[in-house]
Amino acid sequence: MKQVGIFEAKTHLSSLLDAVEQGDEITITRHGKPVAKLVQIKDELTADQIAERRQAIRNLRQLARDLQTGASPAELKSWIDEGRRC
């Protein structure tokens, strides 16, 4: 990770942004202490992706209703935790 001072960041912002677009992370410092970080923005979810995720949640909830395990939320959590240990 590259570090630059505030003056250099102001002077070379365009080239720093080019580097960030290529995947670099740049820390901006003031008097040698980090104060900010330039990082590439991750794309936000599209409306279709949000709709797909909501549908997946609805499907999971319907599956849980259909299975009717009769388990309490605490029991379900313990089963999940147990599965993570395996």
pLDDT in tens, 45-86: 889 999 999 999 899 888 888 888 778 888 888 888 888 776
Are the C-beta atoms of residues 30 and 5 closer than 8 Å to each other? yes
- Looking at this protein, which amino acid is placed at residue 56? A
How far is residue 69's CA from residue 43's CA, in Å, rounded to a whole number? 39
Kindly list the domain boundaries of the chain, sorted by start residue. 2-38, 47-85
Q: What's the topology of domain 2-38?
A: YefM-like fold (3.40.1620)
Task: Supply the pTM of this predicted model.
Answer: 0.51
Per-residue model confidence as pLDDT tens digits over 6-35: 999 999 999 999 999 999 999 999 999 999
Could you give the C-alpha distances from 36 to 2, 16, 27, in angstroms and in order?
Answer: 12, 13, 6
